[in-house]
């Protein structure tokens, strides 16, 4: 029997199931059947240790505890993008691009700014050999063992098997649905609940237990490629997203290309509403020159690129009344205060409760029953109280001037004196 051929068939089958579940979001089988097929592959590899399993799906299950993360230098600086906060700032940057290029119009691409952690994946002859975090931009932590557990990251890409060295950069994140499942698992295990998807992704990627990382449902979404000698790599950024998808990655499924300044600004403004429908946390829009060879005309600054900018949106907020504060007991016995609210719409959902995190937060915010508060999501799955809205009132009887809380305290003192 050709054991290697049989192993390849089993590996191809699991890879197909993983891609359908994690990338296409269309599972081909249920969890029990998947677990059964994965166990068969594990058993097969145990019985035949002579078979090369470097790129087997079983390697995604993680190994033992790591002692720490080695720090390694990036092949090219991993730069950030400067933030913009107004349409006028955006218009000025686009005019600067056009002036440098000496043209009246040029294609620009607008992409979601995913709220995660940037990561550089290095492939040699199609094999994933290294994964580095952004770090300080010049060097980052080697998190290869953890990234290999991410189902949406191909361990081997046949289309790149002739490339000596190619780097694919993207964002490690967690979808809202996966975040919910991860927190449910945390609660069942009596572990700390994550505050939001970004914190969950960040904490997971830096975990020293790759086996635990494999249970945390991370995703990787690519947005950039560098140091390529592959002539098949598209020169337009919008085509690059389709190329990533063809390689087997979970790619950005929403982007727009505009040519004029008005088109770009219009799309950036429209995306503020659309971003709430994204499956992962998005805190802004990224605007880039779509023709990647044009990037060389804009030398990078020390820590940021000049061929793209990040437009940051204001957090999703709403004002309501805090009716009361209740205490929730966690599985570990920890007490967590919760704000009970007058129902209010935030980011497309009705919010009636919001976390206050801990009792120190109550004192810090100065919340009390009857006060008006600002509730925000801002990419959060769990609504939170941001601040108290203080209104000044004048008592119609005694003419005392003060906030609602001060009015309550004042009239309480008056009653005590009268008694």
CATH number of the domain encompassing residue 43: 1.10.287.610
Residue 337 and residue 287 in one domain: no
With 0-12 / 13-18 / 19 or more C-beta atoms within 10 angstroms meaning exposed / middle / buried, residue 39 is: exposed
Spell out the per-residue pLDDT of the chain, length 419, in tens.
687 888 888 988 988 888 888 887 788 888 888 888 888 888 888 888 888 877 888 888 776 677 789 999 999 999 999 999 899 999 999 999 999 999 888 899 999 999 999 999 999 999 999 999 999 999 999 999 999 999 999 999 998 887 778 999 999 999 999 999 999 998 888 888 887 898 899 989 999 899 999 999 999 999 999 876 667 889 999 999 999 999 999 988 889 999 999 999 999 999 988 887 889 989 899 999 999 999 999 999 888 999 999 998 877 778 888 888 898 876 667 778 888 998 887 765 688 888 887 888 888 888 888 888 888 865 555 787 878 887 666 777 787 777 666 777 777 765 554 44
Examine the domain organization and report whether 378 and 298 are in the same domain. Answer: no
Q: Are residues 287 and 361 in the same domain?
A: no
Report if residue 409 sits inside a domain.
no
Query: Which two three-digit tokens encode residue 18?
Result: 């993983």
Whether residues 263 and 332 fall in one domain? no
342 and 273 in one domain? Answer: no
Which of 16, 26, 39, 113 is an active site residue? 113
CA angle centred on 200, ends 332 and 312, rounded to 5°: 135
Whether 239 and 92 map to the same domain: the answer is: yes
The reply to whether 42 and 77 lie within a common domain is no
Q: What region does 227 belong to: left with phi over 0, alpha with psi -120 to 50, or beta?
A: left
User: For residues 327 and 330, what is the distance between their CA atoms, to the nearest angstrom?
Assistant: 10
Q: At 340, which CATH number? A: 2.40.50.140
Q: Same domain for 177 and 45?
A: no
Give the H or E element holding residue 342.
strand 335-346
Q: Is residue 415 part of a domain?
A: no
Report yes or no on 66 lying in a domain. no
Q: Same domain, yes or no, for 192 and 92?
A: yes
For the CA atoms of 334, 339, 345, 348, what is the dihedral angle to 10 degrees?
A: -10
Which tokens go with 306? 């000049």
Q: What is the pLDDT of residue 419?
A: 47
Q: Which of 338, 333, 373 is nearest to 359 (CA)?
A: 338
Q: Does 349 map to a domain?
A: yes
Any idea what the CATH number is for the domain that residue 186 is in? 3.30.470.30
Contacts of 297 (CB under 8 A, 6+ apart): 100, 101
Distance between CA atoms of residues 170 and 267, nearest Å: 22
Q: Assess contact for 57 and 11: CB atoms under 8 A.
A: yes
In-domain check, residue 410: no
Task: State how far the Cα of 257 lies from the Cα of 238, in Å rounded to an integer.
Answer: 8
Residue 397 lies in a domain: no
Domain stops at, among 42, 61, 80: 61
401 is catalytic: no
Q: Is 375 exposed, middle or buried, given 0-12, 13-18 or 19+ CB atoms closer than 10 A?
A: buried
| Total domains present in the chain | 3
Which residues form the domain of 352?
Answer: 317-392
Same domain (yes/no): 24, 47: yes
The last residue of one of the domains, among 291, 312, 333, is 312
Domain identity same for 14 and 113: no
Q: Verify that 53 and 83 share a domain, yes or no.
A: no
Tokens of 87: 């349409």
Count of C-beta atoms within a 10 Å radius of residue 172:
27
| Domain final position from 61, 82, 98 | 61
- Asked whether residue 411 is domain-assigned, the answer is no
Position 245 in a domain: yes
3-state class of 307 per DSSP?
Answer: strand
């Amino acid at each position: 029997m050709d054991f290697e051929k049989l192993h390849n068939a089993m590996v191809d089958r699991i890879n197909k199931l993983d891609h359908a579940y994690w990338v296409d979001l269309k599972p081909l089988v249920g969890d029990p059947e998947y677990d059964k097929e994965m166990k068969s592959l594990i058993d097969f590899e145990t019985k035949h240790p002579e078979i090369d399993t470097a790129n087997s799906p079983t390697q995604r299950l993680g190994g033992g505890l790591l002692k720490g993360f080695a720090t390694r230098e990036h092949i090219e600086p991993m730069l950030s993008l400067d933030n913009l906060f107004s349409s006028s700032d955006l218009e000025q940057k686009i005019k600067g691009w056009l002036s440098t290029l000496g043209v009246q119009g040029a294609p620009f691409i607008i992409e979601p700014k995913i709220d995660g952690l940037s990561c550089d994946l290095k492939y040699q002859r199609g094999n994933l050999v290294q994964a580095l975090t952004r770090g300080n931009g010049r060097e980052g932590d080697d998190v290869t063992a953890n990234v290999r557990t991410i189902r949406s990251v191909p361990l081997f890409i046949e289309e790149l098997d002739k490339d000596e060295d190619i780097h694919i950069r993207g964002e490690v994140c967690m979808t809202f649905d996966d975040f919910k499942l991860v927190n449910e698992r945390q609660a069942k295990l009596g572990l700390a609940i994550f505050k939001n998807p970004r914190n969950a992704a960040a904490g997971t990627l830096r975990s020293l237990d790759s086996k635990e990382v494999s249970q945390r449902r991370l995703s990787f979404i690519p947005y950039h490629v560098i140091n390529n000698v592959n002539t098949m790599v598209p020169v337009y950024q919008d085509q690059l997203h389709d190329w990533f998808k063809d390689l087997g990655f979970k790619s950005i499924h929403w982007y727009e290309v505009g040519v004029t300044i008005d088109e770009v600004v219009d799309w950036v403004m429209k995306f503020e509403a659309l971003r709430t429908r994204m499956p992962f946390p998005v805190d802004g829009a990224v605007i880039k020159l779509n023709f990647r060879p044009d990037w060389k005309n804009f030398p990078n600054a020390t820590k940021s690129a000049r061929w793209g900018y990040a437009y940051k949106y204001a957090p999703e907020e709403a004002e309501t009344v805090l009716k009361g504060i209740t205490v929730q007991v966690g599985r570990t016995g920890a007490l967590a205060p919760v704000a009970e609210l007058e129902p209010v719409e935030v980011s497309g959902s009705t919010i009636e409760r919001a976390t206050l995190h801990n009792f120190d937060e109550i004192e810090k915010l100065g919340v009390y029953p009857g006060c008006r508060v600002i509730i925000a999501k801002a990419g959060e799955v769990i609504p939170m109280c941001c601040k108290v809205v203080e209104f000044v009132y004048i008592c119609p009887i005694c003419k005392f001037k003060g906030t609602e809380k001060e009015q309550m305290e004042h009239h309480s003192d008056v009653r005590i004196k009268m008694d």
